[in-house]
Amino acid sequence: MKTIIAVALVAAVMGSAAHVASAARHPDFNRSAVALATRAAGRPVVIQCETAEALRDRTAAYALAYVVLDGTSVVHAGPTVCGWLAYPKSPTTYGQAILALIHEAMHLRYNSVDEALTERRALDAFPALVRAYFPGMNQSALLWGARRLDWMIVGGHH
């Protein structure tokens, strides 16, 4: 049985159409992000950029990313995450994209559908992973972005 797990976010927070369209032309957006997601998942991960429509059709929501718990290791990332990774506007937006990847990777690592536990695991793993894979970036700003995304998803919608 396939289970789809998605990190959802309302459309108002999603990136601009021009920014998203530009990112879609660059599929090899960030090797460090792939390596980080691979380490978080505990197995090789592929990050596949998807259109907003494809994510909505697959998840019945506006999602940042999703995974299918069927033994595959694909993180289906939406245009917002792919855009933030390819063309980060700031360390804050990059931190948001990284948290979305870590979150999905944690679903894969633990084969878990528990969103709250997965988010906790992602936030706990975030500092060590960004230090390992993005040592030259402003760690505080990356963490601020991750916590802002966490609040928008968890705190802002419950």
**pLDDT score, position 152:** 79
Residue-level pLDDT at 155: 60
Q: What is the DSSP letter of 112?
A: -
Q: Which amino acid is at 16?
A: S
Closest C-alpha to 75, from 143, 12, 5: 5
- 11 pLDDT above the threshold of 60: no
Q: Which residue has the higher pLDDT, 77 or 134?
A: 77
Number of neighbouring beta carbons within 10 Å of residue 79: 26
pLDDT of residue 117: 95
User: Which comes out higher in pLDDT, residue 21 or 34?
Assistant: 34
Residue, of 134 and 128, whose pLDDT is higher: 128
In angstroms, the CA 128 to CA 50 distance is 28
Domain ranges of the chain: 4-155
Share of the chain above pLDDT 70, in %: 78
CATH of domain 4-155: 3.30.2010.10
